[in-house]
Each structure stands twice: as structure tokens, then as C-alpha cells.
């Protein structure tokens, strides 16, 4: 995405003032959204539904309770959400135990870059703490993050800005001096409402609605492209 004149101004205000970068997790740190979709397809078929994984396009960024509400509204109050959740996590966990937990292209490069430039880092994910920490520790990246804020540590989920506000407050940084890396429209809106500067690195959803794309500071295909942007436009 070409950076427009307005965002050129935003980038200039960040220059020399960038205090922190906050990362979404699934689809941004981990290349796992497609694994979740795959496991939903398998479990959905076991439950009698076809193409069940397509629901992920409507639930990206939702926490556990929001997903529960979504599925029961779509499939009826009798939908056994807890049973479904337990089973799909079993399927996805077995896949990752066999094949490893895939991380996104360029992730370790940008983590090292930010660490070397003494920029604070955090995670803000709608996943539960137990689920998030298990994956983060297994790939050995917890050392990079000053804090990790998870869905069960807040009362509201994206697109509400609460999780990003909490992350910035615990980092003790100014919202306007922070970047949020996101792959979903709900996350982008949440970061913007918190007063942060959202950058989109697409995953399953390649293009956000036009009104969401307009609030992006920038949009890149990988974290490596984001390093170049931070290096040349901000730091």
C-alpha cells in the first residue's frame, strides 16, 4: 500500500518518538490461522457441517465468548460450542505437535531489530493466556516481549480498544508513539481507537474494508518490509 500524505505526517510524528510495538498473535506472529480453519473443517464435518472452517473469516479477532455467541446465533442455542472448542484444539494441537508451530515470515528478524533498537514489545491477543503462552514458549520468543496481554485478562475484545490500552498502559508508553501490527479488521479498528498506529500484515484476509484500510499507517506483505519502513520512515 502506498503511504498517503496524511500517513506521511503520522510517520513523521513517530520519528524519533517510537516507544513500542504491540503484536497481535495468531496470523501475525504465528502462521496458524489456516491450521485453525483446517481443524474447524475437520471437526465441523464430524458434527455434520460442510465447509465449517469458512466461519473463521467472520470470527478473526474474537475472544472465546464472542465466538460462542457467534456460533450459537448462526447454528442455534443447541450448538455444542464447548465440545467443538475442545475437539478443534485437540486436532490443531496434534497437527502442531507433528509438524511444529509455524511462525510468520520475517518474525524473528523484526523481533531482533526492535530489540537492538531498544524499542519495547508486547503481545495483545484475544486467545487465552494458557493457550498463548504455550505456543510462545514452545517457539522460544517470550524473551522478546516486555508484557503479554491475553483475552482472559480483559473484559472486552477487539474491536474494542481495551486490550491495546492495557498493553500500552502496562508498558508505560504514549499510545500515539506506538505501532500495532495486525492482520484482521477488528484488530486494526481496536488499535486505531486506542490512539495507536496500526500496520496491517495480511493473513487469511488480504484486504480490509476500505474504511478500515484508510486508518492504516501502512500495509505490508511481511515483517521484513515493515523493518524497512520503520528504518527509513520512523527511526
Q: Give pLDDT, residue 233.
A: 77
Mean local confidence (pLDDT), 131-152: 96
- pLDDT digits 0-9 by tens, 92-134: 999 999 999 999 999 999 999 999 999 999 999 999 999 899 9
Q: Give pLDDT, residue 3.
A: 47
Mean local confidence (pLDDT), 16-44: 95
Task: Label residue 63 by pLDDT band (50, 70, 90).
Answer: confident
User: Among candidates 60, 71, 57, which has minimal Cα distance to 182?
Assistant: 60
Q: Give pLDDT, residue 95.
A: 95
Do 20 and 171 meet the contact criterion of CB atoms below 8 Å apart? yes
- pLDDT digits 0-9 by tens, 222-234: 999 999 999 887 7
What is the Cα–Cα distance from 26 to 19, expressed in whole angstroms?
23
H-type helices in the chain, by residue range?
5-14, 33-46, 56-59, 64-75, 81-99, 107-116, 129-138, 162-171, 185-193, 210-213, 223-229
Query: Cell for 2?
Result: 502506498
Task: Label residue 10 by pLDDT band (50, 70, 90).
Answer: low
- The interaxial angle of helices 81-99 and 64-75, nearest 10 deg, is 120
What is the Cα–Cα distance from 134 to 129, expressed in whole angstroms?
8
Task: Label residue 173 by pLDDT band (50, 70, 90).
Answer: very high
What is the Cα–Cα distance from 127 to 146, expressed in whole angstroms?
18
Mean local confidence (pLDDT), 158-183: 97
Model pTM score:
0.89
What is the Cα–Cα distance from 48 to 2, expressed in whole angstroms?
45
Tell whether the model's pLDDT for residue 199 goes beyond 60.
yes
Q: Give pLDDT, residue 9.
A: 59
Terminal alpha carbon distance of the chain: 20
Tell whether the model's pLDDT for residue 52 goes beyond 50.
yes
Tell whether the model's pLDDT for residue 6 goes beyond 90.
no
Q: Give pLDDT, residue 61.
A: 82
Give the rounded distance of the alpha carbon of 99 from its chain centre: 22
Give the rounded distance of the alpha carbon of 34 from its chain centre: 14
In the block, cell 498517503 appears at: 4
- Tell me how far CA of residue 203 lies from CA of 18, 29, 143, in angstroms: 25, 11, 25
In the block, cell 503484536 appears at: 23
Q: Give pLDDT, residue 14.
A: 73
Amino acid at each position: 500500500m502506498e503511504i498517503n500524505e496524511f500517513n506521511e505526517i503520522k510517520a513523521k510524528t513517530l520519528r524519533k518518538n517510537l516507544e513500542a510495538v504491540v503484536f497481535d498473535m495468531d496470523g501475525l506472529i504465528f502462521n496458524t490461522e489456516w491450521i485453525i480453519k483446517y481443524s474447524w473443517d475437520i471437526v465441523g464435518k464430524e458434527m455434520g457441517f460442510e465447509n465449517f472452517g469458512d466461519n473463521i473469516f467472520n470470527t478473526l479477532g474474537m475472544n472465546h465468548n464472542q465466538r460462542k455467541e457467534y456460533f450459537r446465533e448462526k447454528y442455534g442455542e443447541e450448538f455444542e460450542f464447548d465440545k467443538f472448542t475442545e475437539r478443534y484444539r485437540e486436532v490443531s494441537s496434534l497437527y502442531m505437535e507433528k509438524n511444529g508451530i509455524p511462525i510468520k515470515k520475517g518474525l524473528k528478524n523484526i523481533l531482533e531489530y526492535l530489540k537492538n533498537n531498544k524499542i519495547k514489545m508486547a503481545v495483545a491477543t484475544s486467545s487465552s493466556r494458557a493457550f498463548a503462552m504455550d505456543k510462545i514458549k514452545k517457539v522460544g520468543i517470550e524473551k522478546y516481549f516486555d508484557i503479554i496481554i491475553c483475552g482472559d485478562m480483559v473484559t472486552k475484545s477487539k474491536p474494542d480498544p481495551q486490550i491495546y490500552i492495557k498493553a500500552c498502559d502496562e508498558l508505560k508508553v504514549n499510545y500515539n508513539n506506538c505501532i500495532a501490527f495486525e492482520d484482521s479488521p477488528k484488530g486494526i479498528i481496536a488499535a486505531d481507537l486506542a490512539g495507536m498506529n496500526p500496520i496491517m500484515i495480511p493473513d487469511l484476509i488480504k484486504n480490509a474494508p476500505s474504511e478500515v484500510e484508510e486508518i492504516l499507517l501502512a500495509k505490508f506483505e511481511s515483517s521484513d518490509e515493515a523493518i524497512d519502513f520503520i528504518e527509513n520512515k520512523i527511526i
